[in-house]
Amino acid sequence: MGSDRALIIAHRGESHDAPENTLAALSLAWEKNADAAEIDVHLTKDGRIVVIHDDNTWRTAHRSGKVSTRTLEQLRRLDVGRFKGKKWAKEKIPTLAEALATVPAGKKLFVEIKEDAGILAELNVVLKKSSLLPDQVVIIGQDLAVMELIKKILPAYQCCWVCTM
């Protein structure tokens, strides 16, 4: 990524045209040559990290339920694309591992942690299994204590505290 220009970061993937926080949105971001993409993650009932902005499924799947009270299998049954149009019907909630696997060489993924410290053990496992280099992943979040813990557990990764000042 060049330093002579502003970086293009696709918010929730290319969420203008594709359903946010889906593999389709990430794929479209890379096709449109974004330098990076930003996603949001939550922890499921069975301890998996999934890519979804809200802590519930109502807005994108039109089904009530908190992510933390559903298993990955239950969440996979939901259609999170139809709200964006028939073209995107049957898009599923991806795992963080699946999202990481989409990132091309020379690109970055900003991962916004929407959870407390309970996500850290699984985050460590998923990042270590990923083929991405640490400089391709930037971890961001609004909980300073969680960001400080992540930096201690995963010192090679850049961590950023998103705050109101």
Enter the DSSP assignment of 47: S
Which residues, other chains included, contact 48 with Cβ-Cβ below 8 Å and sequence gap of 6+? Answer: 71, 72, 95, 122
Catalytic residue among 11, 16, 42, 62: 11
Instruction: Report the DSSP pairing between strands 108-113 and 36-43.
Output: parallel
Q: Is 53 a catalytic residue?
A: yes
Distance (Å, whole) CA 17 – CA 108: 20
Which residues, other chains included, contact 146 with Cβ-Cβ below 8 Å and sequence gap of 6+? Answer: 113, 115, 116, 117, 119, 120
Q: Is 62 a catalytic residue?
A: no
Catalytic residue annotation: 11, 53
